[in-house]
């Protein structure tokens, strides 16, 4: 019988905030962009984004398709370059210190970035080596248990369901203990177990774990429930930015429709 896993009984996924890489209060913002712009030919996917996210904040980035959400996250994850403007993540200027920033960032999207012909354990070993994770074997064992895949650790990823692959992708995202998590529609196509695992881990990471989280989602209710702050993008611009506690769940959809019309 596979071992039962529990969020409460497991060690923390990330260092506590007071044991972070830079120490409490040493960074004004974990994410900061200034006049950020990204164009694809004549079309501006981002049109002058000024965004500041403090350490430990959980931000839901909302907006219709084509609003620029994925483009913004891909720039912050160092997967694409802006046309103009600047961005800093965890104190690193992305134009000058890309490699330094990548060690602080965990990126999760609907693309798992897993290797189908490797086992679950081998995938995590590959990423642990890439990031020089100390105590990698222990770390991998902890994460496999946390995402409910200990019993499947020696099986090839190509045999996994979509939900199982996304759970393993979540473990991949966390293997190097990032302090900034960028999550692009991570709930897409998940089964109920994977959805619960992801929600529980996000609650822990953004709570006692002290991670800084930016999550894109099309589910307005989910965004309000998970995040402490809501930022709405429309046509490449920020059209609303407010604490989620100031937004009423019942009236927010109507406000969102007006903002993105």
For residue 108, what is the enclosing H or E element? strand 105-108
**The pLDDT of residue 51:** 97
Give residue 16's pLDDT: 45
Considering only residues 16 and 3, tell me which one the structure prediction assigns the higher pLDDT.
16
pLDDT category at 187 given cuts 50, 70, 90 is: confident
The per-residue pLDDT for 27 is 66
Give the largest CA-CA distance in the chain: 58
The angle, 0 to 180 degrees and rounded to 10, between the axes of the packed helices 136-146 and 120-130 is: 130
Task: Taking residues 30-45, report their average pLDDT.
Answer: 95
- Residue 9 or residue 44, greater confidence: 44
HSE-CB of 157 using CA atoms within 13 angstroms: 20
CATH of domain 28-64+74-104+178-261: 3.40.50.300
Q: What integer pLDDT is reported at residue 5 of this predicted model?
A: 36
Query: Is beta strand 212-216 parallel, antiparallel or unpaired with respect to 58-62?
Result: parallel
pLDDT at position 1: 39
- Which range is least confidently modeled, 4-18, 38-52, 164-178? 4-18
Order across the sheet with 92-93: list the strands. Answer: 43-53, 31-40, 84-89, 92-93
Better pLDDT: 233 or 16? 233
pLDDT of residue 20 exceeding 70, the answer is no
Range 14-21 average pLDDT: 42
pLDDT digit string (tens) for 64-122?
999 999 999 999 999 999 999 999 999 999 999 888 899 999 999 888 999 999 999 99
Residue located via tokens 């994977």 = 194
Choice among 138-142, 197-201, 257-261 with the minimum mean pLDDT: 197-201
Helix (H) or strand (E) holding 59: strand 58-62
User: Above pLDDT 90, what percent of the chain?
Assistant: 68
């Amino acid at each position: 019988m596979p071992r039962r896993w529990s969020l409460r009984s497991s060690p923390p996924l990330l260092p506590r905030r007071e044991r972070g890489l830079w120490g409490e209060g040493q960074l004004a913002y974990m994410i900061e962009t200034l006049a950020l712009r990204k164009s694809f030919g004549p079309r501006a996917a981002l049109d002058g984004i000024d965004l500041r996210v403090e350490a430990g904040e959980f931000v839901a980035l909302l907006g219709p398709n084509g609003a620029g959400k994925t483009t913004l996250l891909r720039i912050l994850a160092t997967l694409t370059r802006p046309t103009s403007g600047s961005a800093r993540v965890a104190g690193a200027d992305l134009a000058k210190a890309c490699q330094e920033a990548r060690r602080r960032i965990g990126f999760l999207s609907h693309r798992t970035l897993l290797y189908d012909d490797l086992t679950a354990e081998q995938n995590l070993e590959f990423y642990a080596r890439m990031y020089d994770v100390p105590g990698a074997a222990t770390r991998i064992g902890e994460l496999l248990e946390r995402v409910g895949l200990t019993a499947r650790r020696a099986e090839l990823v190509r045999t996994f369901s979509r939900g199982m692959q996304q759970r393993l992708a979540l473990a991949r995202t966390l293997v190097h203990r990032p302090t900034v998590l960028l999550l692009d529609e991570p709930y897409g196509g998940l089964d109920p177990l994977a959805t619960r695992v992801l929600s529980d881990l996000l609650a822990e990471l953004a709570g006692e774990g002290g991670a800084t989280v930016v999550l894109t989602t099309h589910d307005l209710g989910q965004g309000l429930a998970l995040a402490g702050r809501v930022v709405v993008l429309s046509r490449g611009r920020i059209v609303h930015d407010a604490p989620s506690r100031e937004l009423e769940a019942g009236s927010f959809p109507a406000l969102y429709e007006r903002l993105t019309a």
